[in-house]
């Protein structure tokens, strides 16, 4: 009887996976797509703010009852492209309200009696003694946006200087005909530059606001607390419940898996997010105050910060529970990649490509910034963006709760337990 020949099976190659094209191409492809999107979104939003202007809001206040005031208003409107600028002719009270609610980035004010002062200048130029020039005021709004205030100041200042030049060409030609004699050199010099242009900030920001950037960075901190908190809570809870390993340096630990449903696991994570939201908001205020940041409306800011962190954290955690590790990338895309370039703080939305204005209608970063700016710079006025921020945060929280509850309960009912599945193929 012959002895059967035993065939030897080759041992599996432990490095076979590393030699596949998929192993090397997949991480590189995903990373390059993410980085290319980051570069496109961020650079497109900041490189050419003045060339991206569309419906940039500025106000004109004409308190003068004479012809010169109307002439200046008409010159401003005709001198600014209506597609680039939204020139609003409003009363002094309306302009003040729009400045105080960040609806305009600056205003040009024509004071009462401007026409009379201009006529007096022509007459006074022929008399000995000093000449009083009529004044125009260019007022900018750094609390709405530092860059927006700069654009408004440069734009309105340029228009007024052009008006000044035109009036300076007209007045010297008119005065000699009325006086019947040549105009003295000193008078001609005064009339060639007839308008005194005054420029100042509306309600200047105090020290400790980072030239108007503290609201943006505070909003960014709130959003990152929710976004990053969801990652920390999800990974640590999953590790402690035995769903994923815990690694600390060379230590690799896999806890015994707890028999708990996906939905109840998500409830535990939401509880952690709520605790973190309350504590983190208080820590932010304490650190900001200690560093010299003005913190008005302390209790309201604390409640607002906690609510925003809760809304962002719950939604981000729900997406991770629903999508697994892919939820991390989706969260990055929603809260960071699309959120930062459309925040409307560093670059006004009216000075960014229009697509960012569309994103800002629903992107969390812009909504969080509006509320933080209202509380830090506008005395917590509801119509300065706080109401919109709270409404959008509530909607975001509701979406997060629904997605998390519906998807995880669906997984539980289908028996899709969080257990390892053997590899196939």
Ranges of each domain in the chain: 56-201, 214-413
DSSP character at residue 184: P
Assess contact for 79 and 114: CB atoms under 8 A.
Answer: no
- How far is residue 239's CA from residue 255's CA, in Å, rounded to a whole number? 7
Q: Which two tokens stand for residue 164?
A: 């000044």
Q: Tell how strand 246-248 and strand 251-253 pair up.
A: antiparallel
pLDDT of residue 104 exceeding 90, the answer is yes
Residue 233: which of 270, 205, 183, 206 has the closest Cα?
270
pLDDT beyond 90 at 317: yes
Percent of the chain with pLDDT over 70: 88
Helix (H/G/I), strand (E/B), else coil: 253: strand
**Range in 27-31, 154-158, 174-178 the model is least confident about:** 174-178
pLDDT classification of 361: cutoffs 50, 70, 90: very high
Residue partners of 378: CB distance under 8 A and separation at least 6: 100, 101, 102, 143, 384, 385
3-class DSSP assignment, residue 424: coil
Instruction: Give which of 270, 243, 269 is closest to 254, Cα–Cα.
Output: 243
Tell me the fold of 56-201: abc type-2 transporter like fold (3.40.1710)
> Percentage of the chain with pLDDT > 90?
57
CB of 134 within 8 A of CB of 338? Answer: no
The whole-angstrom separation of Cα 197 and Cα 165 is 12
Closest CA to 317 of 245, 238, 421, 413: 238
Q: How far apart are CA 318 and CA 208, in angstroms?
A: 37
Please say whether the beta carbons of 365 and 340 come within 8 A: yes
Of 31, 44, 33, 30, the residue nearest 359 (C-alpha): 44
Q: Average the pLDDT over 236-255 and give the result.
A: 81
Q: Is the dihedral of CA 346, 350, 354, 359 positive or negative?
A: positive
Task: Calculate the alpha carbon distances from 100 to 22, 261, 422 in Å.
Answer: 56, 51, 62
Give this prediction's pTM: 0.87
Q: What angle do CA 84, 88, 92 make, to 5 degrees?
A: 145
Give residue 194's pLDDT: 84
The C-alpha atoms of residue 275 and residue 53 are separated, in whole angstroms, by 43
Residue showing tokens 């895309």 = 333
**E strand segments, 235-274:** 246-248, 251-253
Nearest one of 330, 333, 335, 329 to 369, comparing CA atoms: 335
What is the distance of C-alpha 10 from the center of its chain?
Answer: 60
pLDDT confidence tier of residue 17, bands split at 50, 70 and 90 = confident
What are the structure tokens assigned to 345, written together?
């703080």
How would you classify the pairing of strands 135-140 and 106-110? antiparallel
pLDDT band, residue 247 (cuts 50/70/90)? confident
- Of these ranges, 33-37, 160-164, 284-288, 350-354, the one predicted with the greatest mean pLDDT is 284-288
- Mean pLDDT of the chain, nearest integer: 87
Report the C-alpha gap between 233 and 396 in whole angstroms: 19
Q: Is the pLDDT score of 425 beyond 50?
A: no
Highest mean pLDDT among 19-23, 33-37, 142-146, 239-243: 142-146
Radius of gyration of the chain (CA): 32
CA 289/CA 298 separation, integer angstroms: 10
Comparing CA positions, the residue from 390, 370, 216 lying closest to residue 304 is: 390
Angle at 240 between CA 236 and CA 245, to 5 degrees: 80
Pairing of strands 85-90, 246-248: unpaired
């Amino acid at each position: 009887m012959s002895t059967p020949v035993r065939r030897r099976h080759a041992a599996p190659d432990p490095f076979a996976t590393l030699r596949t094209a998929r192993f090397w191409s997949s991480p590189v492809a995903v990373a390059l797509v993410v980085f290319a999107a980051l570069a496109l979104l961020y650079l497109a939003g900041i490189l050419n703010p003045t060339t991206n202007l569309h419906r940039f809001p500025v106000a004109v206040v004409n308190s003068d009852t004479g012809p010169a005031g109307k002439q200046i208003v008409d010159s401003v409107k005709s001198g600014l492209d209506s597609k680039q600028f939204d020139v609003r002719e409003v009363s002094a009270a309306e302009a003040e309200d729009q400045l105080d609610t960040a609806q305009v980035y600056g205003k040009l004010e024509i004071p009462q009696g401007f026409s009379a002062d201009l006529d007096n200048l022509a007459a006074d130029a022929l008399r000995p003694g000093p000449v009083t020039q009529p004044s125009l005021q260019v007022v900018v709004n750094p609390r709405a946006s530092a860059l927006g205030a700069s654009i408004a100041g440069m734009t309105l200042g340029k228009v007024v200087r052009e008006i000044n030049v035109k009036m300076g060409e007209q007045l010297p030609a008119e005065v000699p005909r009325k006086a019947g004699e040549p105009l003295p050199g000193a008078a001609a010099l005064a009339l060639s530059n007839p308008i005194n242009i005054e420029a100042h900030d509306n309600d200047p920001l105090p020290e400790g606001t980072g030239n108007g950037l503290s609201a943006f960075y505070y909003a960014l901190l709130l959003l990152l607390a929710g976004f990053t908190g969801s990652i920390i809570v999800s990974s640590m809870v999953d590790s402690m419940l035995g769903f994923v390993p815990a690694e600390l340096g060379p230590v690799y630990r896999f806890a015994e898996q707890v028999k708990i449903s996906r939905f109840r696991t998500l409830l535990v994570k939401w509880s952690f997010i709520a605790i973190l939201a309350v504590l983190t908001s208080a820590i932010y205020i304490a650190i900001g105050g200690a560093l010299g940041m003005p913190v008005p409306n302390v209790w309201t800011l604390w409640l607002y910060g906690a609510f925003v962190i809760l809304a962002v954290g719950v939604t981000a955690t729900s997406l991770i529970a629903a999508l697994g590790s892919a939820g991390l990338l989706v969260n990055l895309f929603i809260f960071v990649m699309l959120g930062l370039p459309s925040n409307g703080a560093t670059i006004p939305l009216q000075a960014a490509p229009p697509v960012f204005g569309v994103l800002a209608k629903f992107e969390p970063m812009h909504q969080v910034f509006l509320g933080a700016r209202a509380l830090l710079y506008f005395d917590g006025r509801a119509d300065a963006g706080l109401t919109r921020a709270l409404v959008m945060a509530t909607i975001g929280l509701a979406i997060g709760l629904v997605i998390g509850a519906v998807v995880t309960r669906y997984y539980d009912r289908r028996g899709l337990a969080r257990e390892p599945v053997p590899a196939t193929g």
